[in-house]
Amino acid sequence: MTNSQLKELLSDMSLSEKAEQLVQLHGRFFGNNDVITGQEMEFIVPEETALRTGSVLSYHGAGKIRELQDRIMSGQPHKIPAVFMTDIIHGYKTIFPAPIAQGASFNPELTKKLSEAAAKEAAAAGVHVTFSPMVDLSRDARWGRCYESTGEDPWLNARFAENAVWGYQGKDIKEKGRLAACVKHFAGYGAVLSGRDYNVTELSERTFMDDYLVPYKAAVEAGVKLVMTAFNTVDRIPCSINKKLMRDILRDGMCFNGVLISDYAAIAEAVSHGAAGDYAEAAEKAMLAGVDIDMVSQCYINNLVPLVENGIIPEELVDEAVMRILILKNELGLFENPYKDGSEEDEKTIILCDEHKKLSRDAANESIVLLKNDGLLPLKAKGKKIAVIGSLADSKKIIGAWSLFAEKSHIITLKSAFDELYPDAEITYVLSDNICEEAVSTAKNADTVIAVLGEDDSFTGESASRADITLPKGQTELFNALYEANENICTVLYGGRPLVITEIAEKSKAVVMAWFPGTCGNYSIADIIFGKVNPSGRLSMSFPYSAGQLPVSYGRFNTGRPKDDSVKHFVQFVSNYLDVPNLPLYHFGYGLSYTEYEYSKVTLDKDVLNRGGSITASVTVKNKGSMDGMEAVQLYIRDKSASVVRPLRELRGLEKVHLSAGEEKTVSFIITEEMLRFYDINMEYKSEDGGFTLWIGPDCMTDNSEEFILTAD
């Protein structure tokens, strides 16, 4: 439809019909018993009203959607099709490594490929919109939803955000196999106090603007079609009714003109927050803030019409919101084809196809992080007795809580991967997390023990925050019993968050962070353990030494009494703890390989950066080992003196390079003035003249540095 036709359609709609377009109902309102992704709200919608609402949540399957779409259009006065939206977080039925694992790949272009594949599967199943990517900055591992984030760094999260949007949407969302993406949760949700889900946030304006908003802005600039409001408060105002946040910052500041949708019942939760007296007031404030769709609450459906009729809100605001929704439907091509790409035949050929399964495995190859290796890995597949102990070794609950539509029968467990890929290996399994004689005796008689530990799906995700992020109960006791029996332990950890593994790391000879690796990701773990794959994953979230350090990030600030990072023990009258170090156990960007990479000294083509000009910073990286591998070469910059305190280091560049054994490559980064901007003492986004340090190396702790000056001359 043309824009004028959309305007004509809007002008012909009744107020009630307009209000219904701004409501999203869950599939259960239409007889679907699919997964509930939010807190149930007790409200009743007559069937004829439900069949006129503008969008449907958590409904999938080409045949089911076709049937429901027909019902909706037959009862809709203007035959306006519904938009079907659901959570395709890291795959539809072929599950890819969790977002936190994708972050550990340090390869944003990989996420573009994964999002493209996920879109093809979900589109074939009739889905139009995915509630992804989640780009919340995550620096507190207690928060269960950090598993959905790509990590703690604004710049890196921004690169993953834009690549996810490009992967889902392509150049035109009307194209076959494309979904409209929805970036979430706007804004600052990763900073909930105490890491407790749905909690409030307390962020300074500068921290909010300089750090937390960066990935959302990147997604908007990448062309994302929808934005979802967050559950938390910003400046003590719930996001879904926060006019400054939504209109001033998102719409005006970031120039977002797409659809703004609340999270599940988030508008209604303004009443629980104490920021609205009732659902009518919540609806009024949300509409004034510019929220277009009320997801699964009674606020809009029961209150928008009387709010307009009583002159409390102007109908023009409703019209603006409806027009944005009509534009989205038009861009998806739903007026011409209400089912878009939904096809039962395509479901059979695209979903869980060999290409996507291979992609699941290839992605895990790059996402798994080798945290420690005292020469134990890789193992030889023949001639040694191996004990694999732990229930997660044969569990299918290691793909992540948001893998809502995963086909369990296709999930490869670690045991099945070992048995299929390495049938000649002499492996004995004890699939228990409890201390038992069988586990201890098996460990004692083995040459090597693989302790398979960590969290399963139930420990992370929405509403899954943990105050204690050590291993689940019983696993530490099991590990210590195995250690007493045999010190040659490789610990494989599953999970969606960094864990406190100080004792495990000290006693293990090797530690492999597997994350939630996806449908075929356990093939990758087996291949890494036996040396077929050289690990290249790097941590995008720091592993704390103790939960008492949280939140923790490499992008920290100096204090007036800073502690020397090389000093591990307590020092009086400087900023440190009595009982633990300041630094995390494993820092951002960290990860080991089976080969050794050598970096040359950083070279600059000049040491003065003029505004409008650039500096080229280069290193030569050589693979000194005997195994091919990939290295994530990282650029960090520090503003040495500014009008406000600045982080000690900030990631500003990344290139993941493949190096054959003995090969060397020169990696160069272009430094421009734009890379040095921040919100200054007057809250102006700009750079300031002065001295800077840059580092190029394998992680945030590299000391391979050079100095340069920014000047207006």
CA-nearest of 115, 108, 358, 77 to 218 is 108
Q: Which of 446, 645, 552, 704 lies closest to 191, judged by CA?
A: 552
Residue 212 and residue 190 in contact, taking contact as beta carbons nearer than 8 Å: yes
SS3 content of the chain, % helix, strand, coil (to 5): 35, 20, 45
DSSP secondary structure string, 339-393? Answer: TTT--HHHHHHHTT-HHHHHHHHHHHHHH-EEEEESS-PSPPSSSSEEEEESGGG
Could you give the dihedral angle defined by the CA atoms of residues 54, 58, 64 and 68, in that order, rounded to the nearest 10 degrees?
Answer: -20
Phi-psi region of 589 (alpha: psi -120 to 50; beta: other; left: phi over 0): left
Sheet architecture: strand order including 129-130: 259-261, 226-229, 180-186, 129-130, 83-86, 55-57, 23-26, 294-295
> CB-based contacts of 108: which residues, under 8 Å, 6+ apart?
156, 159, 160, 162, 163, 654
Closest CA to 388 of 357, 353, 343, 433: 433
Write down the residue that tokens 């009307």 correspond to: 174
CB-based contact 211:647 (threshold 8 Å) = no
Q: 623, 625, 615: which is closest to 599 by C-alpha?
A: 623
Contact call for residues 525 and 512 (beta carbons, < 8 A) = yes
Tell me: cis bond preceding 133? Omega within 30 of 0 counts: yes
Q: Rounded CA gap, 593 and 347, in Å?
A: 39
Q: Is 263 a catalytic residue?
A: yes
DSSP three-state, residue 454: strand
Q: How many CB atoms lie within 10 A of CB 572?
A: 6
CA distance 382 to 425: 5
From the candidates 263, 294, 527, 639, which is the catalytic residue?
Answer: 263
CA–CA separation, 591 and 699 (whole Å) = 8
From the list 590, 516, 588, the residue with the least C-alpha distance to 552 is: 588
Say how far apart CA 446 and CA 485 lie, in whole Å: 9
Distances in whole angstroms, Cα of residue 448 to Cα of each of 377, 422, 521: 10, 16, 22
Question: Which one, of 87, 82, 89, lies nearest residue 56 by Cα?
Answer: 82
Which residues make beta-bridge pairs with 631? 657
Catalytic residues: 263
